[in-house]
């Protein structure tokens, strides 16, 4: 049975695993779908999206650097997308309209809580970065029950803006990046910076890693290697990359488009074997 046309937009996008993931999900239900990558520079993004949907596209995933632009061009949006100020899923609506969703935070929490069996309730959390990726997961961490969320960013104004948007000063607050070594230890450290993708080192102090700490990088593969190596050297109890998050966010999009929830575990296991 044909399920229609789907795509992932990004710039660059050749590295994306989304086509492989969605084809694996479709196979579980006997569906045939077209799913392709579309490389669109920022100035061409909106036109490319509108052309894709005008030609019969049913849904699209959106990755860097287009998530904020995806929300801006949508006619309707989920609460998660509005809170994050960004969308990673676009869905066709009747009359040529588009709906925007953000599944990043839910996907990350599900990966941590269900795949890795770590209960986040009561954790002290440190969020490194305050850009779009951090916005995508901050509220989900609070919803998952972390006790406090400390946000640090090399540009303090961005961290302050995220904390202000959350609006819960008793739980979510900011500190200066230069003061990291003096903040004490955390139970959860989430790397939402682009350092790994850009091949840069974060140069983090070991003192921030608590004795039961989980360190989690939102990126995966080569981009996450330096942060995970630092975490293991610092004695973190757990060190995970974002491959499971990628699969879970894809499953959310698949369910939105097809009304069926795929089994993510075999897809994750296959990708983990392929990409380490």
pLDDT along the chain (276 residues), means of 10: 84 92 97 96 98 97 93 97 95 97 97 97 97 93 97 96 95 97 97 86 94 95 94 97 97 97 98 87
Written as six digits, the tokens of 45 are 């993004």
**Domain ranges in the chain?**
2-102+247-275, 105-241
Decide: 88 and 67 in contact? Cβ < 8 Å: yes
What's the CATH code, domain 2-102+247-275? 3.40.50.10860
* Length of the chain (residues): 276
Distances (CA, A) of 92 to 58, 89, 107: 5, 10, 22
Q: DSSP 3-state assignment of 176?
A: coil
* Per-residue pLDDT, 2: 59
Same-fold call for 2-102+247-275 versus 105-241:
yes
* Per-residue pLDDT, 1: 53
Q: Where are the beta strands (DSSP E) in 159-265?
A: 172-174, 186-191, 209-217, 238-240
Catalytic center residues: 67
Q: Where are the beta strands (DSSP E) in the chain?
A: 2-10, 32-39, 57-62, 76-77, 89-92, 98-101, 124-128, 148-152, 172-174, 186-191, 209-217, 238-240
Fold of 105-241: Rossmann fold (3.40.50)
């Amino acid at each position: 049975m044909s399920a229609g046309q789907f795509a992932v937009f990004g710039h660059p996008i050749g590295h994306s695993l989304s086509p492989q993931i969605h084809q694996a999900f479709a196979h579980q239900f006997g569906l045939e779908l077209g799913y392709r990558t579309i490389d669109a520079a920022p100035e061409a993004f909106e036109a490319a999206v509108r052309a894709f949907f005008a030609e019969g596209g049913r849904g699209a995933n959106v990755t860097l650097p287009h998530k904020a632009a995806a929300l801006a061009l949508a006619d309707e949006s989920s609460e998660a997308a509005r809170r994050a100020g960004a969308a990673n899923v676009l869905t066709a609506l009747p009359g040529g309209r588009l709906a925007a969703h953000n599944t990043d935070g839910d996907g990350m929490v599900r990966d941590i809580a269900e795949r890795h069996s770590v209960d986040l309730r009561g954790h002290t959390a440190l969020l490194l970065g305050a850009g779009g990726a951090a916005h995508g997961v901050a509220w989900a961490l609070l919803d998952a029950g972390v006790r406090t969320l400390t946000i640090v960013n090399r540009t303090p104004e961005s961290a302050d803006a995220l904390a202000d948007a959350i609006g819960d000063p008793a739980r979510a607050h900011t500190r200066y990046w230069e003061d990291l070594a003096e903040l004490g230890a955390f139970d959860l450290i989430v790397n939402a910076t682009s350092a790994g993708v850009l091949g840069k080192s974060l140069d983090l102090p070991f003192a921030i890693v608590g004795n039961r700490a989980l360190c989690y990088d939102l990126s995966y593969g080569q981009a996450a290697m330096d942060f995970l190596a630092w975490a293991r050297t610092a004695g973190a109890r757990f060190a995970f990359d974002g491959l499971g998050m990628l699969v879970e966010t894809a499953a959310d999009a698949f369910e939105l488009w097809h009304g069926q929830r795929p089994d993510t575990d075999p897809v994750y296991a296959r990708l983990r074997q392929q990409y380490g």
